[in-house]
Amino acid sequence: MCYDKGTFIDGSPYPFFDASKRFKLQPEHFYKPKYFVFIPHLLAGAAIRCPQCLAESRKGKDGQPAYLTPNGFPKAPRRVVDVDENIYIIGYRYYCRTCKKSYQSWSPALRAALPRPLAQQFTHHLTFRSGLTDRVVAIMRSCFLQGIGPYPFAQILRTNHIRRYEQLHLQYLEFLYAGHSTPLHFTGSYQPFSAYNDQSGYAGYTPSGRYIRDFYVQFMGSHAKEIDQYTAMLSANILQVDHSFKVSNNSQIDGFNFEYWLPGTQAFGKGQRHSCLHCSSYSGERVQ
Ligand SMILES: [Zn+2]
């Protein structure tokens, strides 16, 4: 178990060690993926509370808090895309006897119920059917800041994945070449290395530019409140104010009615500040 070695990762990124021990080498010795093992009940130190029952302050039959029961492995691991390879997440299923709900260990609801230091170890960004590692998301955001858009970024990702595939292919061929003096009637003929996207072989995959774009829009949308808050906290050394009191037709923000907008722009045009006025008195402000 990889937890005994102090890591969440199972599987070596170096097929050299496995291949060195084999008399008859097969290409699949070079296809072995990396696994991220996330079985939190082994690490939480205590039973995991049911998120649903906790939210509704519901107790178990014996009056004790409702805890989750480990309920076996999911049908299949989840694939997330890393910088030059794909990682497969091995999770665990949990069941609540009180509210009869099931959770996967990678679900956001279950992770919110874990001790925070443990929940923080799961950094992958999962989407409906796939996902990206935090490393890829960090590089993606840096690329977007530097003007590289989602479609070129998808190509960069694909280039790196194919580069790793070709390195493994070359390693396989070097092993065969090193052992070519052994007569073939001892080893039998060797299998060719699979194509990159052969699903029964290497099974390479990278997401499309459209997927990257949609991911980014959703990701930034989920952090809009924090970004707005940070922008609102920036000081405005120079504030250009448009004092025409634009009528906003009683727009509502957080349940309050506002009758006028007082737009203002910071120096260098960074962020626009809108003061909302109600009956000629200052009520609040919002940054766009
Ligand atoms: Zn429950």
- Please give the full DSSP string across 188-253, using - where no structure is assigned: -PPPPPPPTT-TTTT------HHHHHHHHHHHHHHTHHHHHHHHHHS--SSEEE-TT-EEEEEEEE
Averaged over 74-98, what is the pLDDT?
Answer: 94
Look up residue 10 and give its two tokens. Answer: 């199972």
* Same domain, residue pair 22 and 118: yes
* Same domain, residue pair 114 and 172: no
**Domain end marker among 187, 207, 222:** 222
Task: Identify the residue whose tokens are 């997440």.
Answer: 89
Spacing, Cα 74 to ligand 1 middle (Å): 19
Burial of 209 (0-12, 13-18, 19+ CB in 10 A): middle
* Same domain, residue pair 164 and 212: yes
Spacing, Cα 99 to ligand 1 middle (Å): 4
The pTM of the full predicted model, rounded to 2 decimals, is 0.78
Spacing, Cα 43 to ligand 1 middle (Å): 21
pLDDT per position as a tens digit, 154-204:
999 999 999 999 999 999 999 888 877 776 666 677 889 999 999 999 999
| Average pLDDT of the residues of the chain | 84
- What percentage of the chain exceeds 70 in pLDDT? 80
Residue-range definition of the domain harbouring residue 142: 138-222
The one-letter amino acid code at 15 reads P
Q: Are strands 78-81 and 86-90 parallel, antiparallel or unpaired?
A: antiparallel
Spacing, Cα 46 to ligand 1 middle (Å): 16
* Same domain, residue pair 75 and 47: yes
* Same domain, residue pair 143 and 211: yes
Is residue 118 predicted with pLDDT exceeding 70? yes
- Distances from the Cα of 214 to the Cα of 27, 53, 151, 263, angstroms: 36, 33, 11, 31
Domain tally for the chain? Answer: 3
Instruction: Tell me the C-alpha distance between 252 and 76, whole Å.
Output: 47
* Same domain, residue pair 203 and 269: no
User: Nearest to residue 193, comparing CAs of 224, 168, 156, 225?
Assistant: 168
* Same domain, residue pair 198 and 153: yes
Spacing, Cα 65 to ligand 1 middle (Å): 9
* Same domain, residue pair 199 and 257: no
Spacing, Cα 177 to ligand 1 middle (Å): 59
With beta carbons less than 8 A apart as the criterion, state whether 172 and 190 touch.
no
* Same domain, residue pair 197 and 280: no
Nearby residues of 196 by Cβ (< 8 Å), 6 or more positions away: 162, 165, 202, 204
Name the pLDDT band for 261 (thresholds 50, 70, 90): low
**Domain end marker among 118, 133, 148:** 133
* Same domain, residue pair 256 and 201: no
Instruction: Tell me the C-alpha distance between 135 and 124, whole Å.
Output: 9
pLDDT per position as a tens digit, 21-76:
887 888 988 988 999 999 999 998 888 999 998 888 888 777 888 899 999 999 99
pLDDT of residue 104: 93
* Same domain, residue pair 42 and 27: yes
* Same domain, residue pair 39 and 121: yes
Instruction: Give the chain's radius of gyration (CA, Å).
Output: 27
DSSP secondary-structure letter at 268? G
**Coil, strand or helix at 265:** strand
pLDDT of residue 169: 95
Spacing, Cα 58 to ligand 1 middle (Å): 8
**Domain end marker among 222, 238, 271:** 222
Look up residue 154 and give its two tokens. Answer: 């998808």
**Beta partners for residue 265, in sequence order:** 240, 272
Spacing, Cα 37 to ligand 1 middle (Å): 24
Spacing, Cα 164 to ligand 1 middle (Å): 44
Spacing, Cα 114 to ligand 1 middle (Å): 14
Spacing, Cα 51 to ligand 1 middle (Å): 7
